[in-house]
Amino acid sequence: MAAKTIISRPIYGTLSPQPGKHHLFLADAEGALAIVDMAKTAPLGFFDGAEIVFIPGPDGKHVAVLEALKPAQFHVAPSFASLLPRLKQTLANAHMGLRLYLAGTEGLIGQAMQVALEAGIDHTSMQTEHRGSLARRMQCVHCKGITENVTTQPATCSHCGLLLLVRDHYSRRLAAFQGVCINAEDRSEIPPMEEAFP
């Protein structure tokens, strides 16, 4: 569970069934279990109006438990980038009354939220639940490059190679935490790298 440090650091909740006619779920890896847990409190017939889009983790688990919920539509995607056109299409055709549920890693929640914000859903209107890895999506404030799945502190920018302090400062617009050069005064000073976001 993420702790509140500074105001931009996102805080996630627990998925709960919302009133509405259509329910769009997006989850990766262990995020599937957040949906399964929520389903226990959902009213009868809730998944008749639901679509679940799922990105399995490397172990490929949890597909069967989601299928068992019998959503109106179930789609398994290999990566977030690969499902983006489908997600945009769904949101572009959607009406008010569609509710969005995001569960899994921060990277998935953040990127899906970014697309949904552009489609006109307020971030406070989305249900989110963090499950699984704490790995971060990070933007290097110097070269603006994005590095996915950052688990260490500090972390190396995958674009310009600078050693970055991964801050809790988060941008909803970019769906990324901000990384700032940790040894700008003296590059030869290399602080120890620790596993901070397992």
Q: Does 34 bind another protein (CB under 8 A)?
A: no
Q: Total number of residues binding another protein (CB under 8 A)?
A: 19
Strand order in the sheet with 22-28: 73-76, 50-55, 22-28, 98-104, 127-130
Nearest distance from residue 182's CB to another protein, in Å?
36
Cβ closer to another protein: 21 or 61? Answer: 21
Place of tokens 């490397």: 58
Q: Does 13 bind another protein (CB under 8 A)?
A: no
Q: Does 125 bind another protein (CB under 8 A)?
A: yes
3-class state of residue 16 by DSSP: coil
**CB neighbours of residue 55 within 10 Å:** 21
Strand partners, 136: 150
Q: Does 98 bind another protein (CB under 8 A)?
A: yes
Distance CA 42, CA 62 (A): 19
Q: Does 44 bind another protein (CB under 8 A)?
A: no
Strand partners, 192: none
124, two tokens:
């406070």
Cβ closer to another protein: 40 or 95? Answer: 95
Question: Smallest Cα–Cα separation from 180: which of 7, 110, 171?
Answer: 171
Contact region with another protein (CB under 8 A), list: 66-74, 119-127, 142-150, 184-192: 119-127
Q: Does 156 bind another protein (CB under 8 A)?
A: no
Nearest distance from residue 61's CB to another protein, in Å?
31
Q: What does the binding site for another protein look like in residue numbers (CB under 8 A)?
A: 18-22, 91-92, 94-99, 119-122, 124-125
